[in-house]
Chain A
Amino acid sequence: MGAKTVTRADLSEAVYQKVGLSRTESADLVELFLQEISTCLENGENVKLSSFGSFIVRDKNERIGRNPKTGQEVPIAPRRVLVFKPSNVLKDKINNGALPGGNQ
């Protein structure tokens, strides 16, 4: 339903406008920001960005899944998944913006 999809290019542009760096360097720093977070998560370490949220790595055990189309049982291997836990600040900002009706 969002009218627009924000991408790396938009984030780089914002950095370029706000901080006096070149466009190339702004893009590199956006990429570095994402890579530093990814590396941390890859090492199993959680990442906490205050007033935004936390990226948490969770271990999932093996379980038996089912192919919904064929009904066939398939084992789902144990794996690590990434969950994002939004901070209250972020949740509040989204509700004040997206639902102008205002609720609490």
Chain B
Amino acid sequence: MIKSELVQRMVRANPHLYQRDVENIVNTIVDEITAALADGNRVELRGFGAFSVKNRPARVGRNPRTGTTVKVDEKAVPFFKSGKEMRERLNKDKKR
């Protein structure tokens, strides 16, 4: 499912809303999560999962093609950990 399909499904559940309003809502949510992470904050959505930012220290890497060493600067990467309910839903059919 891509963003436009997600919007369509949400419109189907809310026929009184315009598609552009729902697009606006989806973009607002995504932008809000992005902005929080850019500020170094955590986003915790119970049952769904949590987004956080992890810092990767600088390291000496290697160009795998040429073998030359390159310095890789310190960087921050976004990280997502699925929530308990989400993990259970993913494995529902496998449980007995």
Residues of A within 8 A of B (CB): 1-8, 10-11, 14-15, 18-19, 21, 26, 29-30, 32-34, 36-38, 40-42, 45-53, 55, 57, 77-84, 86, 90-91, 93-99, 101, 103-104
Contact = CB atoms under 8 A, between A and B. Distances in A.
B32 A11 contact: yes
Given A49-B3, A80-B91, A98-B76, A14 B42 contact: no
Given A5-B44, A93-B34, A99-B76, A36 B6 contact: yes
A104 B42 CA distance: 24
Contacts, number: 171
Contacts of A103: 73-75
Nearest first, the 8 closest Cβ-Cβ pairs linking A and B are A97-B38, A84-B80, A103-B73, A2-B41, A98-B76, A6-B36, A82-B82, A80-B90
Contact of B43 (A3, A5, A53, A78): A5
12 contacts: A2-B39, A3-B41, A11-B32, A18-B24, A36-B9, A42-B89, A78-B94, A84-B78, A91-B77, A95-B76, A97-B38, A99-B76
A48 B30 CA distance: 12
Interface string B1-33: 111001001100110000001101110111111
B78 A47 contact: no
Given A18-B24, A18-B28, A91-B78, A81 B90 contact: yes
Given A14-B32, A82-B80, 11 more contacts: A1-B40, A14-B28, A19-B21, A32-B14, A36-B6, A51-B30, A79-B90, A81-B82, A84-B49, A84-B78, A95-B76
B87 interface: yes
A1 B51 CA distance: 13
B45 A34 contact: yes
Contacts of B24: 18-19
